[in-house]
Each structure stands twice: as structure tokens, then as C-alpha cells.
Homo-oligomer: A and B are copies of this chain.
Amino acid sequence: MPRLSIEQLRRQELAAAAYEILQEEGIAGTTLAKVAERAGMSKGIVVHYFGGKDALLEAVMRRANSMLRDEVISRMNQASTPRGRLDAIIAGNFSPDFFKPEICNAWLSLCAEVPRNREFARIQRAIHARMRSNLLSALRHLLAPERREAAVIGITAMIDGLWLRFGLNQDGLDLAEARRQMDSILALHLGPRDAIPTGDYT
């Protein structure tokens, strides 16, 4: 299995390098040459393994997503209650490793291209679908059915908004304030944190 192994290794190295450059230079600045140089390889190898810039950036998007996904999953696995799983989703999205201006901005750059890149749109849809499904599964036991949809939209929109603002990286928004805002939104939809669920919405 040397072929597969080295191919996957190179792909990961290149995607990682591209992810770094993306955070520093944006999509337009993420050039094959820069990525290759950052990875310590030649430009030709990028084309050889990815076939083109588009596929490279898609790999970056998938990579960034999968890192965040793993963070969330690992936290969800440690949770035992529905509320714990809900908190795990939030905590994952505001982990200090991911809620960073450069990363938020990289996401912004990718999102901005979604309407003009079919594959980006597909990936973005998948990301959103997973977030939605995670939230719904946690909310199933916490909220009456007719309230879940609005809660999911509100929570995701607030996450997105805080990420966007943090990606601009210019005002006083910090991690602690973001978490407080998320607490508020959760309280809005679920009631105060210490409230006892009113029913068993299985």
C-alpha cells in the first residue's frame, strides 16, 4: 500500500499548507506556487495530486470542516444528557482552537465563493445539514417539536454571526463574550439553564 499511503500523506500535507495560506492570504492569494512552497514541494506536485486549484480548495474546505467536526464529536461523546450534547456542540464551535480570527476569516472567504462554486455549495450544505441534525437530536428531548426548527435556526445564525464578526477581527468581541451570547440564545429557546425540562419530548 505504498501508493495510497504516500498519496494520502501528500494530499494532507498540501491541504494543510493550503489551509495556512488561505488564512493568511485569502482565496485569491492562495496560489499553487505559494502552497507548494509552504509545503516544501514543487508546484507541479500540487496539480499532480489535486488536478487543479479548485480541488485543492475543496480539500481545504473539507479538511477545515472535518477538524471542527471531530472537535464537536469528541465533546459530544463525553456528554451524557441532551443538554450536555447541546452544550458540547456550542463548546466545540467556540473552542479556542477553532474560534480564532484567522480561521473565522478563512471560513468567510470560502463561504463568499459558495454561490459561484458548485462543490463549495455542496460541502457547505453538508456542513449545515450536520449541524442541523446534531442540534435537532439534542433538542429532541428538550423542546416541543414545533419549537425545534426556530431554535435550530436561531442557534446556527448566532454562531455564524459571531464567527463572522470575529473573522473581521477589529472590535471588542472576544471568546468570553461570544460564549455569553450563546448562553443567552440557549436560554431564549430553552429557558434558564437550571430549568427542568417540562416534558418528555421523545
Where the two chains meet, the residues of A that have a C-beta atom closer than 8 Å to any C-beta of B are 25-29, 101-102, 105, 108-109, 111-116, 121, 124-125, 128, 150, 153-154, 156-162, 164-165, 167-171, 173, 177, 180-181, 184-185, 187-189
Contact = CB atoms under 8 A, between A and B. Distances in A.
Given A26-B113, A108-B108, A128-B171, A164 B153 contact: no
A180 B112 contact: no
A102 B115 CA distance: 9
Contact of A108 (B111, B125, B128, B165): B111
Contact of A188 (B109, B113, B124, B184): B184
Would you call the interface of chain A mostly helix, strand, loop, or mixed? Answer: helix
Contact of A161 (B105, B121, B160, B173): B160
A162 B160 CA distance: 8
A153 B177 contact: yes
7 closest pairs, A vs B, by CB? A161-B161, A157-B161, A160-B161, A188-B188, A108-B112, A109-B112, A112-B112
A108 B154 CA distance: 19
A106 to B, nearest CB: 9
Contacts of A28: 27-28
Nearest to A171: B128
B153 A160 contact: no
Contacts of A187: 188
Nearest to A102: B115
A111 B181 contact: no
Contacts of A164: 111, 157, 160-161, 164
